[in-house]
Amino acid sequence: MKPYDIIIIGAGPAGTSAALFLEKRGCRIALLDQARFPRDKVCGEFISPAADAIFSELGVLESIEAINPVRLKGVALSAYERSWVQVDYPSSADGTTMSSLSVERLMLDNLMLGQVRNSQVELIEGFKVTDLLFDDDNVCGVKGYDEGKIEFNIHAKVVVDAGGRNSISLRRLNLKQGSSSEGKIALAAHWEGVRLPGQYCYMHISRPGYTGIAPVGQNKANVVLIVDKASLAGQDVDDFYRSTVLKNPLRREMLGAGEPAEKVRAVDSLAYSVKTPPCGGLVLVGDATGFIDPFTGEGIYLSLRSSQLASGVIAGAFNNFDFSKKQLESYDRVRRMEFHKKFLLSKMLQRLIYSPSLCIRVVKTLGEHKDLAGMLVGVIGDYIPAGRVVCFEYLLRLAGGTLLSQPSFLKTEKV
């Protein structure tokens, strides 16, 4: 097969956005995916408000708006059925009213791919990449086969791996590191016939795990349940999922009139981090760079943003005709610096949600101090810098409110 400037593995949000960013810079690109689209993907389908600006830059926002998508006003959070806060997104720094898109992945990914189809990028569906090709220490292409099992080698100056959580680079170069949510599993299904009280992403922290519920259409919601794998204990997955979701009275009130409209899908080993590739010619974007946790629902934004950052560094590599590790690793540094505090926040939230009494108090405090709650959802929505929340002053105010929040409340009720 003919050589390209860039091969991108994977046509999810990271791969399609990387293709569109890099095509604008005049590169010859092949975008490969083992699937044929439209294809589905387990996801909370709740997209950070900050993603709008990137969709707009890529020319995709118009086609997303054309399907009349659900737009969420903010986040509602309950802790162990004992405390509750509902908070609207605060306006952005320039006074814009913020909202988040809630779009089924089957549609979103296909709309992004539609934009790729209208570009100069060569899209090859049904092509599974099985290995990376090397020239000395640099990656110089990929090897794989098409749907007829015919093998191909394709060469390029740079390979962008956007293959998601099981991407070939993570396996081939052993880049995946320990997980902070080892043993957790996500179970997801769309429900029909539900009556959600408003246009919010509803997060219910409860035993034996938490759920994220987002409306994705008329009386339709996406319900993701995160639990310890061990709590399934050999039960039928669909029965376990339905009964666990409905065990929580708040969820039962929202979903009780409805039913899952499909078989439950599962994803395990949720959070992981990833080492920098030890070679040139290779750049990782999206979930291939690591995954924090679905609780803050930011994976799509982080994927788009990582591709935006990567495209700048790759363009620089073409300008200098240097695709070495040294040239490309500045992307990793920039990305890690930008996302560092978000990852820290995610880890703090993980600790919090599995500490019931503290979690109840913090959510209660957020309910009483809407400015603190607003700042937190703005950070989770990726348009307020994480440093505004991951700082002494914010944590002190939160701790102050939490310490003052009626200790008797906890003594009298059993969690």
Positions touching ligand FAD (CB under 6 A) are 9-15, 32-35, 41-47, 128-129, 162-164, 167-168, 186, 188, 224, 267, 286-287, 294, 297-301, 303
For the CB of residue 104, give the shortest distance to ligand FAD in the complex, in Å: 11
Nearer to ligand FAD, 140 or 216 (CB): 216
| Long-range pairs of 198-201 with CB within 8 A, sequence gap ≥ 24 | 198/73, 198/76, 198/86, 199/70, 199/71, 199/72, 199/73, 200/72, 200/73, 200/74, 200/75, 200/76, 200/86, 201/44, 201/46, 201/72, 201/74, 201/75, 201/76, 201/100, 201/102, 201/297
Q: Which is nearer to ligand FAD, 129 or 376 (CB)?
A: 129
How many other CB atoms are there within 10 angstroms of residue 120's CB atom? 12
226 membership: H or E segment, kind and range: strand 220-228
Q: Which is nearer to ligand FAD, 35 or 61 (CB)?
A: 35
Q: Please state the closest distance from residue 413 (CB atom) to ligand FAD, in A.
A: 31
Q: Is 413 helix (H, G, I), strand (E, B) or coil?
A: coil
Least distance between ligand FAD and beta carbon 15 (Å): 5
For the chain, give me the number of helices (H) and strands (E)? 13, 21
Q: How far is the CB of 80 from ligand FAD (least distance, A)?
A: 21
Measured distance CA(6)–CA(283) in Å, rounded: 10
Shortest Å distance, C-beta 106 to ligand FAD: 12
Angle at 79 between CA 233 and CA 225, to 5 degrees: 35
CB of 296 to ligand FAD, least distance (A): 8
- Give dist(CA 395, CA 400) in Å, integer: 8
Q: What is the DSSP letter of 119?
A: S
To the nearest whole angstrom, how small is the minimum distance from the Cβ of residue 320 to ligand FAD?
Answer: 27
Q: Are 161 and 9 within 8 A, CB to CB? A: yes
